[in-house]
Structure 1
Amino acid sequence: MEYRQVQPATALQPYIQCFGILEDNNLYGETKTFKIIADGCPGLIFQENPDSFLDKDRHKLPQLFIQGLTTSNSQKTTKGQYRNIGVYFRPDAIKSIFGIDANELTDGYIDLDDVVKNNLAEQLLGETQIDKRVKILSDFISRKIAANRYRQNPKVAYAIAKINSNNTGGLYKIQSELNLSERSLERIFKTNVGISPKLFSRICRFQAALDFIRNRTFNSLTELAYQHSYADQSHFIREFRAFTGASPKQFLSHANEQLPNFPEWEC
């Protein structure tokens, strides 16, 4: 299995984190299981082989689909060869690209054709070179942004930046700085991001701690828990299980993570 990233053009960086290419020859056709980990980001996924992946209920995924923000652990399975390319969006990009409320897709996915009629899959199948596929996707997203009357909400963007910067004042300070009530901030956050700012903050804290787990740059789980403002080690492990479906020890033992937050789970 191989994974690589391509950075978006400057004009698309407020909307796109990166393009990711995941492929596996899997010549022997064995079934593989992948964990889906809460990551706080939606995406647009293209499967060269439309039969590549099944969701947790063993339903075949569309060839080209929008994946909403994930808030809990799940899994997908695959058998045989696959070659996928994903557009990994910023947390608040769905509304300003596709014009749909982000909370409609939270923990789910939808065939792109059900959102907007297009021939994007055919265009992508007509090219095999990654740079040309990236350009096709970039041009499509640029056109969607230009045609969409809804723009990214600057207050939501500000709140996301503060949460990601390990804001010490908490959500109350953000509400005060934006002159928003708790209810107002939650409303615009759910529309633009898909979840409440409190849950988004929990996911960001978990992801920050997960980076230490991935890189094995921690001395103890207790120290890691306090470093990321968890009440104690037990609190951290409960959150870790909620977002990954495994303990930190199990994650280190079984996760082959080429694509961040989508590890192959090796038994």
Structure 2
Amino acid sequence: MDEDRIPQFDHHNRMQCGSTNGTMICGTHSENFIIRDANKISVMGVHFKPGGAAFLELPARELYNERISLDELWKTHATELRDRLVQESTPEARFWVLEQFLTQMLRPTNYHPAVNFALQQFQQSTNSTIRSITEQTGFSARHFNQLFRDQVGITPKLFCRIQRFQKVLEMLSAKAPVDWLDIAFTCGYFDQAHLIHDFRAFADCTPTEYLDQRGFHRCHVVLAD
């Protein structure tokens, strides 16, 4: 938190390709990105639920796979927030400041009930299809996809695909030894090749490499030097 820059890296060649200032917003992502954890720094943040960031004036789709300085959206408010956080000495006090600040920045939402309905169905039911849920909203697939992207940042299809992959990671964190075929079928994959494809797409590694390099969080992989 003392350094007012957050470096960004190209996830293909792992070279630094820019930075944001000390307050950053990360949009909905379907690709991995690199963070540097070598320095002893203090970091805190907020993880919003899908469609839950009611603090911005732009559609969520415009932040898809983006990480930008928060002052690009909040101007001087971002600097004010960071200054107030740095002044506090305990995590509890910092979280209180952050909570109060976000409450003040909260804006009236225009969340569409059809999107909220779909999110509930996608997160609760493994049997419902995107097509059947879209039909229940009464909208065409094209119009519903647009509503969903504006609120969540990605299409319903990609959302469900990421959610399926997250379920795999959750099972891996609690299951040993690993039965890859069982995990693949339980989570809705056609076969192991289908599962491996998503590992490469989202985590940039194979399932075996993921287990060997898994970090402090199930979505964190430690890269080799």
Query: Is the TM value for this pair above 0.5?
Result: yes
Pick from 105, 114, 129: which aligns with 1:144? 105
What CA distance in whole angstroms lies between the structure 1 residues aligned with 2:217 and 2:168?
A: 17
Distance 1:227-1:259 versus aligned 2 partners, 3 A rule: closer
Could you tell me how far apart the structure 1 residues matched to 2:90 and 2:115 are? 36
Note the C-alpha offset of 1:197. 0.4
Summarize deviations over 1:81-106 as a string: whole Å, max 9, x none: 11100100011023x22121111111
Partner Cα distance (2:199, 2:218) in 1: 15
Correspondence for 2:157:
198
Alpha-carbon distance between aligned partners in 1 of 2:45 and 2:159, rounded to the nearest angstrom: 22
Per the TM alignment, residue 266 of structure 1 is displaced from its structure 2 partner at its CA by 4.8
Helix, strand or coil: the match of 1:203?
A: helix
CA deviations over 1:210-234 (Å, ceiling 9, x no partner)? 1112223564211111111111110
Partner SS for 1:61: strand
Q: More strand per residue: 1 or 2? A: 1
Amino acid at match of 2:142: R
Deviation of 1:243 after TM superposition, in Å, equals 0.7
CA distance in 1, matches of 2:111, 2:21: 27
Q: Matches of 1:158 and 1:48 in 2, distance apart?
A: 42
- State TM-score, norm by structure 1: 0.75
Give yes or no for contact 1:254–1:265 (8 Å, CA) kept in 2: yes
Residue 178 (structure 1) shift: 1.6
Shift of 1:48: 3.9
Do the aligned partners of 1:255 and 1:265 also contact (CA within 8 Å) in 2?
A: no
Q: Would the aligned equivalents of 1:51 and 1:61 in 2 still touch at CA under 8 Å?
A: yes
Q: 1:208 to 1:48 in 2, by over 3 A?
A: farther
Q: 2:65 corresponds to which residue?
A: 107
| 1:49 Cα offset (Å) | 2.6
Q: How does 1:162-177 map to 2 (within 5 A)?
A: 162-177=121-136
Q: Percent of pairs identical after alignment?
A: 24
Match in the other structure for 1:122? 83
Q: Equivalent residues in 2 for 1:212-251 (5 A)? A: 212-217=171-176, 219-251=178-210
Distance in 2 between residues matched to 1:260 and 1:83, nearest whole Å:
21
- Segments of structure 2 that go 5 or more residues without pairing to the other structure are none
Assess if the C-alpha contact under 8 Å between 2:50 and 2:152 holds in 1.
Answer: yes
Q: Greater helix percent: which structure?
A: 2
| TM-score, structure 2 as length reference | 0.88
Q: 2:161 and 2:177 mapped to 1: Cα distance?
A: 20
What CA distance in whole angstroms lies between the structure 1 residues aligned with 2:29 and 2:5? Answer: 22
- Tell me, yes or no, if the aligned pair for 1:48 and 1:82 is still in contact at 8 Å: yes
Task: Pick closer, same or farther for the CA change 1:261–1:210 going to 2, 3 Å.
Answer: same
1:169-227 CA deviation, whole Å, 9 max, x = no partner?
20112112221211121001110111100000000001001111222356421111111
Q: Distance in 1 between matches of 2:23 and 2:177?
A: 39
Amino acid corresponding to residue 58 of structure 2 in structure 1? I
Give the SS at the match of 2:43. Answer: strand
Aligned length: 217
How far apart in 1 are the matches of 2:218 and 2:160?
19
**4+ aligned runs moved over 6 Å, structure 1:** none
